[in-house]
Amino acid sequence: MRSVTQSAFGDPSVLEIATVDRPSPGPGEVLIKVGAIGVNPVDAAVRAGFYPLLGDPPFTVGWDVAGVVETPGPGVSAFAPGDVVLGLLAFPGPGNTYADYVTASANEIIRKPAGLGTEEAAALPLAGLTAWQALVGIARIAPGQRVLIHAAAGGVGHLAVQIAKARGAHVIGTAGAGKHAFLRELGADELIDYTSADFTQEAGPVDVVFDLIGGEYGERSATILKPGGVLVGALGANLGLTPEGAAERGVRLSAVSVRPSPADLAQLLALVESGQLKVHVDHVFPLAEAAKAHELISARRTTGKIVLVP
C-alpha cells in the first residue's frame, strides 16, 4: 500500500509517498480501507518538529480517518467487514492515517451515519473532539452564557461555534470580515473583525473564551472574562496566561488536550444528524499531494477543514 512518510523534520517537501506492507490488525483492532483523512495543524507541527509527539523520523503523521472496515482482528465483535467508520486514532501516539490502509483500535472508532459524507466524516474527529472536550467537558457551557471563540472560521473554530450554539450559548466569534457571512450561517450571534477592531472593546464581558490562537490573545482575553469565567486554550504550551495570573483575576484557566472518545463522537454525530452541526470541507487533495495540503494549512487561512483522499 501507499503511505506518506518522512525521514527528517522540515517543510512540507519532506513528505514522501512510499510503498510499504499493508498492516495486519492485532487483537482488539480492525483494518480500515481509508476513504478520507482529515488534515490538522498538529500534523504540520509534528512534521516540522515543533511538536515532537512521535519522536524522531521516520514516521507517518495523521490521526483522523473515515473508511471501511476490511478485516476485524481477533476479539473484535462490534465491527464487521463493510462497516463504514470514522475516528481519531491513537492520539497523541502514532495514528498513521496518511495511508491507503490503517489499523485502529475498535475502542476508538464509531459507525458513520449514512447522511454524513466520507470527506466530512474524516474532517470531524480531531477538530470536533477538541471543540467538544473544551466547551462541554472543560468549560461546561450553559444556555445563555456568552462565549467568545477566537479563529472562529477555522477547522476547530467553525465546529466550536455550532456546538456552543447548540448548547444554547450566545456566540461571539473573531474572524476576518470575509468569513463573517459563513459564520452567521453557522449561527454566530456577533462577529468581530480582528483586523480592524479590538475584541476586548467589542465583545463585552463573557463567561467563556475558547482561544485557538494563544500568546497575547490569552492575556487579553482574560481581561474580559466575568469573575468565575473560564479561558480554555487549545495550545497548551502557549496559553499566554499563567495559572497565577488567572487566579489573580478570579477566572479559571485550562488547556484542552484532545483524546479519542467514541462517546464524545457519538454526541457530535447526534448534532450532525439533527442538523445542528455541519462540517465544512474547504479543500480536498489526493494523498500524493499531502505536501500541498500542509502548505495550505500552515498558511492558517483556511475556512473549515482540509481533507486528503487516497
Per-residue pLDDT of 20-46, as tens digits, reads 999 999 999 999 999 999 999 999 999
| Integer CA distances (angstroms), 78 to 30, 72, 74, 85, 213, in order | 10, 9, 11, 12, 39
Q: Which residues pair with 29 in a beta bridge?
A: 105
Q: What is the CATH number of domain 2-124+279-309?
A: 3.90.180.10
When mean pLDDT is compared over 50-54, 247-251, 280-284, the highest value belongs to: 280-284
Provide φ and ψ at 249, rounded to 5°: -85, -5
Examine the pLDDT at 53 and tell me if it is beyond 90.
Answer: yes
Per-residue pLDDT of 233-266, as tens digits, reads 997 768 888 889 899 999 999 999 999 999 999 9
In this structure, the chain runs to a length of: 310
Say what the pLDDT of residue 241 is.
Answer: 86
Q: Which of 29, 5, 18, 36 is nearest to 285 (CA)?
A: 36
Note whether 140 and 112 are within 8 A (CB): no
Domain boundaries, the chain: 2-124+279-309, 127-255
pTM above 0.85, yes or no: yes
From the options 3.40.50.720, 3.40.50.140, 3.20.20.110, 1.20.140.10, give the CATH code of 127-255: 3.40.50.720
User: How many angstroms separate the CA atoms of 5 and 206, rounded?
Assistant: 44
